[in-house]
Structure 1
Amino acid sequence: MRGTHGALLLGLAVLSVSAAPASADVRDGVDAWSRGAYGPAVAAWRSAATAGDADAQFNLAQAYLLGRGVPRDMPTAAEWFRRAALQDHAAAQAKFGLLLFDQGKRAEATPWLEKAVAHHEPRAQLVLGTMLFNGDGVARDWPRAYALLVRAAAADVPRASEVQAQMDKVIPIVERQQGLLLARDDEAAAKRPQLPIAPPPPAPVRVALASAVAPPSVARMQPARKPTQPPPAPVVASRGSWRLQLGAFGDAANARRLWTQTAASFPGANVSYVKAGVMTRVLIGPYPSRASASQACRAIRPCIAVNS
């Protein structure tokens, strides 16, 4: 981290060759590539790419990027990525945006990263989230930055958990809560497994961002408003595979402080502090079913029902 807001720095990873070919030529190229026959793979992809096949264009771009079967040629790689991206190829949109970002062309990179994020591409989530945190070529937006990093970390993108942990030290908890709610809504839109069933929260409110902010106390977390007709108390079982994740923190002390502040909302539940890389997850339960866990989730937000 560096600078007033602790700017985050990234190294960009290379995307793999497409494994879902759309034509016989692309399939033949993938088979050849997997055998290490890079020249025949490139020959198979080139004809399909010239004919407009987006998968072939993406794979041919990878060959030029890596210098396998053809001389390494970054401008040619970028051009083939661009052609595939124009056909709404999510991986190509992400890769083209990442190449532009790596070249310092932030304004040109942003729309392609946004397109890739709309397709739920996790590497684009990592880079765009970092840009939004730093205000690097885009307006600073910490809630959305945090939401994108939570999703990238959940997808096990290299460095995403580390970057999220750095954000935990700077972003106030109110804005992290907003980010978690945004992440939950976006994951629901992506139809990911193990999503909470609880009713969607109200739209998050954008917060005006000030200068550097010290790490906030978790005690500022506010419980959700009580419904007019309180639901019956959730059932906590002696056995069960369902638990509630109340948050994940880079500082384990904050994880324990969160439970101190919220334990009264979950009578009879047990708490576990589970390490996930550099993060400490707060899990409570067990609950006998997803329905009972989701019902308990209504006691406080953010909260996610997970099958552990």
Structure 2
Amino acid sequence: MKAFVTGAALVAALGLAAPGLADVKAGYDAWGQGDYAKAVKEWQPLAEAGDPDAQYNMGQAYRAGQGVDKDEATAVEWFRKAAEQGLPKAEDTYGRSLFQAGKRAEAMPWIQKSAARGEPRAQYILGTALFNGEFVSKDWVRAYALMTRASAAGLQPASNSLSQMNSYIPVEQRQKGLAMAAELEKSDKAAALAAAEVDNKATKATGKATVVKPTAKPKPVEVAQAEAPAKVAAPSPEPKAAPKPAPAKPAPKAGVPAPQPGGAWRVQMGAFSEDGRAQALWKSLSAKVGGLSGYQSFYVKGGPVTRLQAGPLASSADAEKLCRAIKAAGTDCIPKKM
């Protein structure tokens, strides 16, 4: 009896799927008893034959290093095969795996599918992308709605980003986002039920719960490493060839306030998770905004982001004036007192 309880506890802590095929059930039972090698032996031929549940289970085995040598690349490949057959849990896992590996453009279609089913981590990632306009068209209303849903699910990075968004998104758009979030809550519940039905299709056939987790818990996707959405006021333009450095900075053109050494004001044009994007934006704006190259650029580190600022300026009025010129070039800008 004690061994049975231990196996059940392992099953309750795993993330595998157990469909109604006899051999897959045998693997499921072996895994619950701690015989991982036997479980893998049962699942592998079915996975190779195209069974999505067995493929997902093989992915979890390789990710946890149970019954096989730990191999993240092989795990992700099994998740891909199961995801392409429409297994919701595999779609979620595969999308986040790609995103964590830095393959964000490739991950985004899977992230969108997961977000549409109400998966909070996917909603956070997609909300970030929609705010920044990265890999998807910028949509602050939908970004706010998705971040609201992810925050309501208890995802702390989403709560942090939502608070930051309040400083950037106009009240009217935030209100529309809240209304959209209320509608998403209804659709999320329906989608989650449908996904659970697919993931747990063998419950009746096996007489067991179909969702278990590996004893060595896979490393979770660190969505907190995604770019903090409310820290980015505008997407970065395509980098342009850098001009040859001038011996001295040109004076600002008429209509743009002159830099003021020792001034207490700067303007901020965005914040980025990569220094290169901040540098690319500065080069682009220096070519577009007359007189901007006469200012000093600042790359201010703050946690995981780099803020692009320019200055110094003598007053808030001068900072506002320079921001108007920058906004006219298509980039958001806010005055900052140092």
TM band (smaller chain): 0.5 to 0.7
Residue in structure 1 matching 2:29, options 23, 28, 31: 31
Equivalent residue for 1:135?
Answer: 133
Given that 1:90 and 1:121 are in contact with CA atoms closer than 8 Å, whether structure 2 keeps it comes out as no
Residue by residue, what CA displacement relative to the aligned partner does 1:14-58 show, whole Å, maximum 9, x if unpaired?
A: x96135534333333333333433222222221222232212211
For 1:16-55, list aligned pairs within 5 A.
Answer: 17-19=15-17, 21-55=19-53
Q: What is aligned with 2:291?
A: none
Cα distance in 2, alignment partners of residues 147 and 179 from structure 1? 4
Q: Retained in 2: the 8 A contact 1:64–1:77?
A: yes
| 1:84 CA displacement | 0.8
Q: Over residues 272-307 of structure 1, what are the superposed CA-to-partner deviations in whole Å (9 max), with x where a residue is unaligned?
A: xxxxxxxxxxxxxxxxxxxxxxxxxxxxxxxxxxxx
User: Relative to structure 1, is the Cα distance of residues 38 and 170 closer, same or farther in structure 2, using a 3 angstrom cutoff?
Assistant: farther
Contact 2:17 / 2:57 at 8 angstroms: preserved in 1? no
**Equivalent residue letter for 2:138:** R
Percent identity between matched residues is: 50
RMSD, aligned CA: 2.8
How many residues align structurally?
Answer: 182
Q: Spell out the pairing of 1:208-247 with structure 2 (5 A cutoff).
A: 212=233
Q: Is the 8 A contact 2:30 2:38 kept in 1?
A: yes
Partner residue in 2 for 1:58: 56
Unaligned runs of 5+ in 2: 1-12, 191-231, 235-338
Contact persistence 1:106–1:136 (CA under 8 A): no
Structure 1: 5+ residue runs without aligned partners?
1-14, 193-210, 214-308
Please list, as runs of the form range in 1=range in 2, the aligned pairs for 1:120-269 lying within 5 A after superposition: 120-157=118-155, 159-191=157-189, 212=233
Return closer, same or farther for 1:129/1:29 CA change in 2, 3 Å cut-off: farther
Cα deviation 1:204-236 (Å, max 9, x = unaligned): xxxxxxx849xxxxxxxxxxxxxxxxxxxxxxx
In structure 2, the CA distance between the partners of 1:186 and 1:68, relative to structure 1 (3 Å rule), is same
* Change in 2 beyond 3 A, CA 1:21/1:145: farther
Contact 2:116 2:188 in 1 (8 A): no
Q: Residues 79 and 93 of structure 2 are in contact (CA less than 8 Å); yes or no, is this contact kept in structure 1?
A: yes
Residues of 1 paired with 2:65 and 2:19: CA distance? 21
Match of 2:16, SS? coil
Q: 1:37 to 1:177 in 2, by over 3 A?
A: farther
Tell me the TM-score normalised to structure 1 length. 0.52
1:64–1:74 CA contact under 8 A, matched in 2: yes
**TM-score, length of structure 2 as denominator length:** 0.48
CA shift at 1:87, angstroms? 1.1
Q: Which residue of 2 aligns with 1:95?
A: 93
Distance 1:158 1:25 in 2: 41
Q: Identify the residue that residue 117 of structure 1 maps to in structure 2.
A: 115
Contact 2:124/2:150 (8 A) holds in 1: yes
1:89-116 Cα offsets, whole Å, 9 max, x none, are: 1121121111211222222111111122
In the other structure, the counterpart of 1:108 is 106
Structure number with greater Rg is 2
Determine which structure has the larger helix proportion and give its number: 2
Q: Which amino acid aligns with 2:162?
A: Q
Change (3 A) 1:114 1:68: same
SS at match of 1:165: helix
Per-residue deviation at 1:157?
A: 3.9
Highest RCO, 1 vs 2 (Cα 8 Å, sep ≥ 6): 2
